[in-house]
């Protein structure tokens, strides 16, 4: 009888332990939980029940540890643009369908989603992108978004080649001007198609600018793998467009949870090779940040800038000027300082200042610009150079304010050499 009782107690203990294991709850960090709630409000993943150990490690890594690493360089909007592009590139249709609502919740617009999917056809082919286009339409319609969206084509069959060539030149440099008619005669038509179809049909469309389009192309190529020569070329193009090495490494890092390490490490190698190539050709070398500090990423005003800028307050105890650092290709929107005069002093690199209706002024070290109150203007770096300027305001009247206006278009900016 005593032996039977002991065996019964032992069996109950085993059953109790097993039940405890089956009912275990993942220990997800508050940061990961908060981010997950922002992506999927009110949704509780079934994986917490079926795969608690896995989801604990994945969520804590993808939505906490990774985020903390890249937060200073990637805002949520940009991060989710890259997530969608990576999932298109790696053919992650189920995860794309799951993450698309999260991207919309994080500020990616339906128009941006469509442009990302459309451009993926040039790099992955309709055979692989067709399911993503269907999934996109289903998600958008479920959210009550009426299709089709507003047209975004900016070319016609008559001018798509010319526009595509110009896009290639703006991104890669003047050497692309005659590329469309180069190469062996039996395959020359493909270079022609790259100009009129890939660039003329897609890169010229609205919603996304050339810098963003180069970024999503980088993501398509990095995620699908096996095209490292093209990836290196487009990494170089990203550098020219103002997407820096640190920024691209942040993009790669943010997407490791979605494509894994092998392709991510290959992409990292391509970025490093592109940086090496640019150093050999003297393109876009970074300024000496020991002389003029780079400061922190300008997240507060990022929505008024194309590209990344950084702010460093000089001698903050005495109200010294602000040092603003612009990455290559970065510029702010047209804007007006009401009831205040702004002074710019270029200290490093090369850039541009332009008042509405006037010719642009080239900014080089030592150039000082005094901007009258009420003057509509913009300033930023050249396409192939960083630029730093000091800025402060004088003759400030009561009620002074800044009014941010429309972005400087590629058409205006690309005319500046």
Quick one: which H or E segment has residue 130?
helix 126-142
The pLDDT tens digits for 100-109 are 999 999 999 9
Q: Which helix (H) or strand (E) holds 219?
A: helix 210-224
> Is residue 175 reached through a cis peptide bond, with omega within 30 degrees of 0 on the bond before it?
no
- Predicted local distance difference test score (pLDDT) of residue 216: 98
Tokens of 329: 């290709």
Of 229-243, 285-299, 365-379, where does mean pLDDT reach its minimum?
A: 285-299
Evaluated on CA atoms 192, 198, 200, 203, the torsion sign reads: negative
- Read off the pLDDT of residues 296-323 as tens digits, 9 standing for 90 and up: 889 889 999 998 899 998 876 656 799 9
Domain residue limits, the chain: 2-69, 71-152+205-281, 296-413
Q: What is 296-413's CATH number?
A: 2.60.120.10
Domains 71-152+205-281 and 296-413 belong to one CATH topology = no
Q: What distance in Å separates the CA atoms of residue 302 and residue 308, rounded to the nearest whole number?
A: 7
pTM: predicted TM-score of the whole model, two decimal places: 0.70
| Chain centroid to CA 369 | 31
Residue 338: both structure tokens together? 């009401």
Q: Domain spanning 71-152+205-281: which superfamily?
A: AhpD-like (1.20.1290.10)
Distance, in Å, from the CA atom of 166 to the CA atom of 141, rounded to the nearest integer, reads 36
25-50 pLDDT per residue, tens = 899 999 999 999 999 999 988 999 99
Between CA 256 and CA 252 the distance in angstroms is 6
Q: Which residues pair with 322 in a beta bridge?
A: 313, 391
The residues near 6 (Cβ < 8 Å, ≥ 6 apart) are: none
Q: What is the pLDDT of residue 318?
A: 55
């Amino acid at each position: 009888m005593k032996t039977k009782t002991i065996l019964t107690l032992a069996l109950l203990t085993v059953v109790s332990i097993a039940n405890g294991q089956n009912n275990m709850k993942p220990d997800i960090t508050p940061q990961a939980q908060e981010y997950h709630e922002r992506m999927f409000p009110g949704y509780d993943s079934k994986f917490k029940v079926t795969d608690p150990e896995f989801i604990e490690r994945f969520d804590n890594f993808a939505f906490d540890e990774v985020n903390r690493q890249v937060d200073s360089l990637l805002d949520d909007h940009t991060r989710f643009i890259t997530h969608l592009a990576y999932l298109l590139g790696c053919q992650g249709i189920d995860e794309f369908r799951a993450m698309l609502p999260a991207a919309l919740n994080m500020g990616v617009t339906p128009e941006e989603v469509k442009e990302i999917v459309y451009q993926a056809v040039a790099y992955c082919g309709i055979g692989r992108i067709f399911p993503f286009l269907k999934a996109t339409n289903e998600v958008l319609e479920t959210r009550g978004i009426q299709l089709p969206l507003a047209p975004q084509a900016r070319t016609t069959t008559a001018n798509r080649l010319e526009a595509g060539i110009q896009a290639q030149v703006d991104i890669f440099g003047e050497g692309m001007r005659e590329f469309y008619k180069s190469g062996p005669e039996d395959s020359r038509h493909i270079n022609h198609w790259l100009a009129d179809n890939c660039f003329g049909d897609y890169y010229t469309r609205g919603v996304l600018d050339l810098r963003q389009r180069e970024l999503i192309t980088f993501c398509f190529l990095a995620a699908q793998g096996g095209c490292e020569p093209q990836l290196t070329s487009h990494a170089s193009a990203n550098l020219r467009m103002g997407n820096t090495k640190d920024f691209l490494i942040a993009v790669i890092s943010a997407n490791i949870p979605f494509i894994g390490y092998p392709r991510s490490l290959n992409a990292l190698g391509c970025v490093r090779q592109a940086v090496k190539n640019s150093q050999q050709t003297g393109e876009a070398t970074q300024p000496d940040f020991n002389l003029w500090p780079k400061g922190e990423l300008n997240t507060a005003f990022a929505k008024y800038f194309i590209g990344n800028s950084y702010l460093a307050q000089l001698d903050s105890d005495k109200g010294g000027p602000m040092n603003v650092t612009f990455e290559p290709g970065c510029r702010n929107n047209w804007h007006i300082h009401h009831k205040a005069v702004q002074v710019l002093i270029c200290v490093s690199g090369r850039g541009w200042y332009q008042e509405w209706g006037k010719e642009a002024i080239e900014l080089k070290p030592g150039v000082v610009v005094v901007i009258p109150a009420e003057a509509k203007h913009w300033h930023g770096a050249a396409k192939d150079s960083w630029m730093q300027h000091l800025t402060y305001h004088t003759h400030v009247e009561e009620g002074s304010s800044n009014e941010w206006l429309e972005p400087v278009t590629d058409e205006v900016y690309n005319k500046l050499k």
